[in-house]
Structure 1
Amino acid sequence: MSHTVRPSDAFSRVAAAGVVPAVAVAAHGAASGAIPSSSGILLSAAIGAAAAMVLAPRRGRLLAAAASTTLVLSVAQAASHWALALDAGHAAHGTSTLPMLLTHLVAIPLSAVLIVAGAHLLSSIGTVIRSMVPPVALAARPAAPVFWTPPCVPAAPALCGTGVRGPPGTV
Protein backbone atom coordinates (compact mmCIF):
# COMPACT_ATOMS: atom_id res chain seq x y z
CA MET A 1 0.00 0.00 0.00
CA SER A 2 1.52 3.29 -1.10
CA HIS A 3 1.35 6.28 1.22
CA THR A 4 2.00 8.98 -1.34
CA VAL A 5 0.47 12.40 -0.81
CA ARG A 6 -1.18 13.86 -3.86
CA PRO A 7 -0.21 17.47 -4.58
CA SER A 8 -3.86 18.56 -4.45
CA ASP A 9 -4.28 17.06 -0.96
CA ALA A 10 -1.08 18.70 0.22
CA PHE A 11 -2.29 22.02 -1.22
CA SER A 12 -5.60 21.70 0.66
CA ARG A 13 -3.88 20.97 3.95
CA VAL A 14 -1.34 23.77 3.65
CA ALA A 15 -4.04 26.24 2.60
CA ALA A 16 -6.28 25.26 5.51
CA ALA A 17 -3.38 25.57 7.95
CA GLY A 18 -2.78 29.10 6.70
CA VAL A 19 -6.40 30.21 6.38
CA VAL A 20 -7.43 29.32 9.94
CA PRO A 21 -5.07 31.66 11.80
CA ALA A 22 -5.34 34.38 9.14
CA VAL A 23 -9.14 34.56 9.32
CA ALA A 24 -9.15 34.23 13.12
CA VAL A 25 -6.70 37.12 13.54
CA ALA A 26 -8.56 39.23 10.95
CA ALA A 27 -11.92 38.64 12.62
CA HIS A 28 -10.49 39.30 16.07
CA GLY A 29 -8.93 42.51 14.78
CA ALA A 30 -12.21 43.56 13.17
CA ALA A 31 -14.02 43.03 16.46
CA SER A 32 -11.59 44.58 18.90
CA GLY A 33 -9.37 46.70 16.68
CA ALA A 34 -6.29 45.19 18.31
CA ILE A 35 -3.77 42.65 17.18
CA PRO A 36 -3.81 39.49 19.31
CA SER A 37 -0.77 38.55 21.35
CA SER A 38 1.89 36.27 19.91
CA SER A 39 0.77 33.39 22.14
CA GLY A 40 -2.79 33.73 20.81
CA ILE A 41 -1.55 33.77 17.22
CA LEU A 42 0.66 30.74 17.90
CA LEU A 43 -2.27 28.88 19.45
CA SER A 44 -4.43 29.77 16.46
CA ALA A 45 -1.69 28.49 14.12
CA ALA A 46 -1.59 25.23 16.09
CA ILE A 47 -5.37 24.92 15.71
CA GLY A 48 -4.91 25.53 11.96
CA ALA A 49 -2.31 22.76 11.81
CA ALA A 50 -4.66 20.40 13.64
CA ALA A 51 -7.45 21.30 11.20
CA ALA A 52 -5.11 20.56 8.29
CA MET A 53 -4.42 17.10 9.68
CA VAL A 54 -8.14 16.41 10.13
CA LEU A 55 -9.00 17.66 6.65
CA ALA A 56 -10.04 14.67 4.55
CA PRO A 57 -8.32 14.12 1.21
CA ARG A 58 -10.40 15.37 -1.71
CA ARG A 59 -12.02 12.32 -3.24
CA GLY A 60 -15.15 12.50 -5.32
CA ARG A 61 -17.51 15.41 -5.80
CA LEU A 62 -16.58 19.04 -5.37
CA LEU A 63 -19.73 19.88 -3.38
CA ALA A 64 -19.02 17.18 -0.79
CA ALA A 65 -15.39 18.32 -0.56
CA ALA A 66 -16.46 21.95 -0.11
CA ALA A 67 -18.98 20.95 2.59
CA SER A 68 -16.45 18.87 4.56
CA THR A 69 -13.81 21.61 4.22
CA THR A 70 -16.34 24.22 5.41
CA LEU A 71 -17.17 22.06 8.42
CA VAL A 72 -13.50 21.60 9.37
CA LEU A 73 -12.78 25.31 8.90
CA SER A 74 -15.86 26.28 10.95
CA VAL A 75 -14.83 24.12 13.90
CA ALA A 76 -11.26 25.42 13.67
CA GLN A 77 -12.50 29.03 13.53
CA ALA A 78 -14.67 28.52 16.60
CA ALA A 79 -11.71 27.03 18.48
CA SER A 80 -9.42 29.84 17.32
CA HIS A 81 -11.99 32.46 18.27
CA TRP A 82 -12.24 31.16 21.82
CA ALA A 83 -8.46 30.76 22.06
CA LEU A 84 -7.91 34.38 21.00
CA ALA A 85 -10.73 35.67 23.20
CA LEU A 86 -9.48 33.83 26.29
CA ASP A 87 -5.90 34.87 25.55
CA ALA A 88 -7.00 38.51 25.39
CA GLY A 89 -8.77 38.07 28.71
CA HIS A 90 -12.31 38.68 27.54
CA ALA A 91 -14.67 35.90 26.58
CA ALA A 92 -17.47 38.24 25.48
CA HIS A 93 -16.74 41.00 22.99
CA GLY A 94 -19.92 43.00 23.65
CA THR A 95 -21.00 45.35 20.88
CA SER A 96 -18.20 44.49 18.44
CA THR A 97 -19.45 40.94 17.85
CA LEU A 98 -21.24 41.76 14.58
CA PRO A 99 -18.10 42.65 12.51
CA MET A 100 -16.35 39.52 13.77
CA LEU A 101 -19.35 37.32 13.03
CA LEU A 102 -19.67 38.77 9.53
CA THR A 103 -15.97 38.23 8.89
CA HIS A 104 -16.28 34.58 9.90
CA LEU A 105 -19.53 34.04 7.96
CA VAL A 106 -18.02 35.38 4.75
CA ALA A 107 -14.46 34.12 5.09
CA ILE A 108 -15.11 30.50 6.09
CA PRO A 109 -17.25 29.39 3.10
CA LEU A 110 -15.24 31.55 0.69
CA SER A 111 -11.99 30.03 1.97
CA ALA A 112 -13.42 26.52 1.71
CA VAL A 113 -14.55 27.05 -1.88
CA LEU A 114 -11.19 28.58 -2.85
CA ILE A 115 -9.27 25.73 -1.22
CA VAL A 116 -11.36 23.05 -2.96
CA ALA A 117 -11.26 24.90 -6.30
CA GLY A 118 -7.48 25.35 -6.03
CA ALA A 119 -6.98 21.66 -5.20
CA HIS A 120 -9.21 20.66 -8.13
CA LEU A 121 -7.30 22.97 -10.48
CA LEU A 122 -3.98 21.57 -9.27
CA SER A 123 -5.24 18.02 -9.78
CA SER A 124 -6.45 18.86 -13.30
CA ILE A 125 -3.15 20.46 -14.23
CA GLY A 126 -1.31 17.40 -12.94
CA THR A 127 -3.52 15.10 -15.01
CA VAL A 128 -2.87 17.13 -18.17
CA ILE A 129 0.88 17.17 -17.57
CA ARG A 130 0.96 13.41 -16.92
CA SER A 131 -0.97 12.79 -20.15
CA MET A 132 1.58 14.77 -22.17
CA VAL A 133 4.64 12.98 -20.77
CA PRO A 134 5.32 9.66 -22.50
CA PRO A 135 5.39 6.64 -20.24
CA VAL A 136 8.79 5.50 -19.19
CA ALA A 137 9.85 2.28 -20.84
CA LEU A 138 10.27 -0.27 -18.14
CA ALA A 139 12.15 -2.75 -20.30
CA ALA A 140 14.98 -4.52 -18.58
CA ARG A 141 18.30 -2.96 -19.31
CA PRO A 142 20.93 -5.16 -20.85
CA ALA A 143 23.63 -6.07 -18.42
CA ALA A 144 26.72 -3.95 -18.70
CA PRO A 145 29.60 -5.80 -20.36
CA VAL A 146 32.24 -7.10 -18.01
CA PHE A 147 35.75 -6.25 -19.03
CA TRP A 148 38.51 -8.49 -17.71
CA THR A 149 42.18 -8.03 -18.14
CA PRO A 150 44.67 -10.62 -16.97
CA PRO A 151 46.68 -9.50 -14.01
CA CYS A 152 50.09 -8.12 -14.77
CA VAL A 153 52.72 -10.59 -13.55
CA PRO A 154 56.26 -9.54 -14.26
CA ALA A 155 58.51 -12.29 -15.70
CA ALA A 156 61.69 -13.31 -13.89
CA PRO A 157 64.84 -11.83 -15.36
CA ALA A 158 66.90 -14.04 -17.61
CA LEU A 159 70.13 -15.07 -15.91
CA CYS A 160 72.05 -16.37 -18.92
CA GLY A 161 71.65 -17.02 -22.56
CA THR A 162 68.46 -16.36 -24.31
CA GLY A 163 66.52 -17.34 -21.32
CA VAL A 164 64.90 -20.38 -22.86
CA ARG A 165 66.24 -23.70 -21.70
CA GLY A 166 66.18 -26.57 -24.06
CA PRO A 167 67.65 -30.06 -24.07
CA PRO A 168 71.38 -30.30 -23.67
CA GLY A 169 73.05 -29.83 -26.92
CA THR A 170 75.40 -32.33 -28.47
CA VAL A 171 78.49 -31.04 -29.96
Structure 2
Amino acid sequence: MFDKVINTLSQIGLIIGSVLLALMMLLTVADVFMRYVFSAPVSGSAEITQILLTLTVFAGFILVSRDGSHIVVSIFEPMISRLSPKLYGVIYAVSNTLGTAFLLWVLIVSAREAFDYEDVTEGLEIPFGWIISALVVFVAFSLVAGVRVFKKGLSGHGSAD
Protein backbone atom coordinates (compact mmCIF):
# COMPACT_ATOMS: atom_id res chain seq x y z
CA MET A 1 0.00 0.00 0.00
CA PHE A 2 2.75 2.47 0.98
CA ASP A 3 4.67 1.66 -2.22
CA LYS A 4 1.56 2.59 -4.23
CA VAL A 5 1.40 5.95 -2.45
CA ILE A 6 5.08 6.60 -3.15
CA ASN A 7 4.68 5.54 -6.79
CA THR A 8 1.67 7.86 -7.17
CA LEU A 9 3.56 10.78 -5.61
CA SER A 10 6.52 10.04 -7.87
CA GLN A 11 4.28 9.99 -10.94
CA ILE A 12 2.77 13.32 -9.90
CA GLY A 13 6.25 14.81 -9.53
CA LEU A 14 7.34 13.40 -12.88
CA ILE A 15 4.29 14.67 -14.74
CA ILE A 16 4.27 18.11 -13.13
CA GLY A 17 8.03 18.48 -13.59
CA SER A 18 7.79 17.46 -17.25
CA VAL A 19 4.94 19.87 -17.94
CA LEU A 20 6.75 22.72 -16.19
CA LEU A 21 9.95 22.00 -18.11
CA ALA A 22 8.00 21.98 -21.40
CA LEU A 23 6.32 25.29 -20.48
CA MET A 24 9.69 26.79 -19.65
CA MET A 25 11.12 25.71 -23.00
CA LEU A 26 8.07 26.97 -24.93
CA LEU A 27 8.21 30.30 -23.13
CA THR A 28 11.90 30.68 -23.93
CA VAL A 29 11.34 29.85 -27.61
CA ALA A 30 8.40 32.28 -27.80
CA ASP A 31 10.40 35.00 -26.05
CA VAL A 32 13.37 34.63 -28.40
CA PHE A 33 11.10 34.52 -31.44
CA MET A 34 9.13 37.58 -30.36
CA ARG A 35 12.28 39.47 -29.45
CA TYR A 36 14.14 38.90 -32.71
CA VAL A 37 11.27 38.80 -35.19
CA PHE A 38 8.95 41.48 -33.78
CA SER A 39 11.32 43.33 -31.38
CA ALA A 40 8.74 42.72 -28.67
CA PRO A 41 9.85 40.18 -26.03
CA VAL A 42 7.33 38.38 -23.85
CA SER A 43 6.74 40.61 -20.83
CA GLY A 44 7.94 39.01 -17.61
CA SER A 45 9.40 35.95 -19.32
CA ALA A 46 12.56 35.96 -17.18
CA GLU A 47 10.49 36.09 -14.00
CA ILE A 48 8.16 33.32 -15.15
CA THR A 49 11.14 31.19 -16.23
CA GLN A 50 12.72 31.57 -12.78
CA ILE A 51 9.48 30.49 -11.11
CA LEU A 52 9.03 27.55 -13.50
CA LEU A 53 12.64 26.44 -12.95
CA THR A 54 12.20 26.52 -9.18
CA LEU A 55 8.98 24.53 -9.39
CA THR A 56 10.59 22.03 -11.80
CA VAL A 57 13.52 21.41 -9.45
CA PHE A 58 11.25 20.87 -6.46
CA ALA A 59 8.94 18.57 -8.44
CA GLY A 60 12.02 16.52 -9.35
CA PHE A 61 13.00 16.47 -5.67
CA ILE A 62 10.23 13.91 -5.15
CA LEU A 63 11.91 11.42 -7.52
CA VAL A 64 15.37 12.08 -6.14
CA SER A 65 14.16 11.54 -2.57
CA ARG A 66 12.37 8.33 -3.54
CA ASP A 67 15.54 6.86 -5.01
CA GLY A 68 17.99 8.31 -2.50
CA SER A 69 20.02 9.67 -5.39
CA HIS A 70 20.82 13.13 -4.06
CA ILE A 71 24.12 14.75 -4.84
CA VAL A 72 26.46 13.94 -1.99
CA VAL A 73 29.67 15.51 -0.78
CA SER A 74 32.13 12.66 -0.53
CA ILE A 75 34.21 13.71 2.44
CA PHE A 76 33.25 10.94 4.86
CA GLU A 77 31.22 8.78 2.47
CA PRO A 78 34.05 6.49 1.26
CA MET A 79 35.30 5.82 4.79
CA ILE A 80 31.84 5.13 6.25
CA SER A 81 30.63 3.03 3.32
CA ARG A 82 33.86 1.00 3.42
CA LEU A 83 33.58 0.37 7.17
CA SER A 84 29.87 -0.37 7.17
CA PRO A 85 27.64 -0.02 4.11
CA LYS A 86 24.53 -0.54 6.25
CA LEU A 87 25.59 2.22 8.66
CA TYR A 88 26.16 4.51 5.68
CA GLY A 89 22.64 3.78 4.40
CA VAL A 90 21.12 4.53 7.80
CA ILE A 91 23.11 7.76 8.22
CA TYR A 92 22.12 8.83 4.71
CA ALA A 93 18.43 8.04 5.20
CA VAL A 94 18.23 9.74 8.61
CA SER A 95 20.12 12.86 7.52
CA ASN A 96 18.06 13.09 4.32
CA THR A 97 14.82 12.80 6.28
CA LEU A 98 15.88 15.38 8.86
CA GLY A 99 17.15 17.77 6.17
CA THR A 100 13.95 17.45 4.14
CA ALA A 101 11.80 17.93 7.25
CA PHE A 102 13.80 21.07 8.12
CA LEU A 103 13.37 22.40 4.57
CA LEU A 104 9.63 21.71 4.81
CA TRP A 105 9.41 23.64 8.09
CA VAL A 106 11.34 26.62 6.65
CA LEU A 107 9.09 26.70 3.58
CA ILE A 108 5.91 26.52 5.68
CA VAL A 109 7.11 29.48 7.77
CA SER A 110 8.09 31.36 4.60
CA ALA A 111 4.72 30.70 2.96
CA ARG A 112 2.87 31.91 6.02
CA GLU A 113 4.95 35.09 6.12
CA ALA A 114 4.49 35.65 2.38
CA PHE A 115 0.71 35.43 2.80
CA ASP A 116 0.76 37.63 5.94
CA TYR A 117 2.82 40.36 4.26
CA GLU A 118 1.21 39.88 0.84
CA ASP A 119 4.63 39.54 -0.83
CA VAL A 120 4.58 39.53 -4.62
CA THR A 121 7.18 39.14 -7.35
CA GLU A 122 8.78 42.33 -8.58
CA GLY A 123 7.61 42.49 -12.19
CA LEU A 124 4.37 40.58 -12.61
CA GLU A 125 3.31 40.83 -8.96
CA ILE A 126 2.62 37.11 -8.63
CA PRO A 127 1.91 36.29 -4.97
CA PHE A 128 4.92 34.54 -3.41
CA GLY A 129 2.65 32.73 -0.97
CA TRP A 130 1.20 30.57 -3.74
CA ILE A 131 4.60 29.83 -5.25
CA ILE A 132 6.04 28.82 -1.89
CA SER A 133 2.90 26.79 -1.12
CA ALA A 134 3.56 24.70 -4.24
CA LEU A 135 7.12 24.15 -2.98
CA VAL A 136 5.69 23.07 0.40
CA VAL A 137 3.55 20.43 -1.34
CA PHE A 138 6.51 19.15 -3.38
CA VAL A 139 8.78 18.94 -0.32
CA ALA A 140 6.04 17.22 1.71
CA PHE A 141 5.70 14.64 -1.09
CA SER A 142 9.51 14.33 -1.10
CA LEU A 143 9.55 13.66 2.62
CA VAL A 144 7.01 10.86 2.22
CA ALA A 145 8.82 9.45 -0.83
CA GLY A 146 12.15 9.60 1.02
CA VAL A 147 10.90 7.07 3.54
CA ARG A 148 11.34 4.48 0.76
CA VAL A 149 15.12 4.74 1.23
CA PHE A 150 14.75 3.24 4.72
CA LYS A 151 13.01 0.23 3.20
CA LYS A 152 14.71 -0.26 -0.19
CA GLY A 153 18.12 1.34 0.27
CA LEU A 154 19.99 3.82 -1.91
CA SER A 155 20.29 3.89 -5.65
CA GLY A 156 22.59 5.96 -7.81
CA HIS A 157 25.45 6.14 -5.31
CA GLY A 158 28.17 4.24 -7.05
CA SER A 159 31.74 4.91 -6.09
CA ALA A 160 33.29 8.01 -7.63
CA ASP A 161 36.74 6.38 -7.56
Max radius of gyration: which structure? 1
Higher helix share: 2
Query: Please, what TM-score do these two structures have when normalized by structure 2?
Result: 0.31
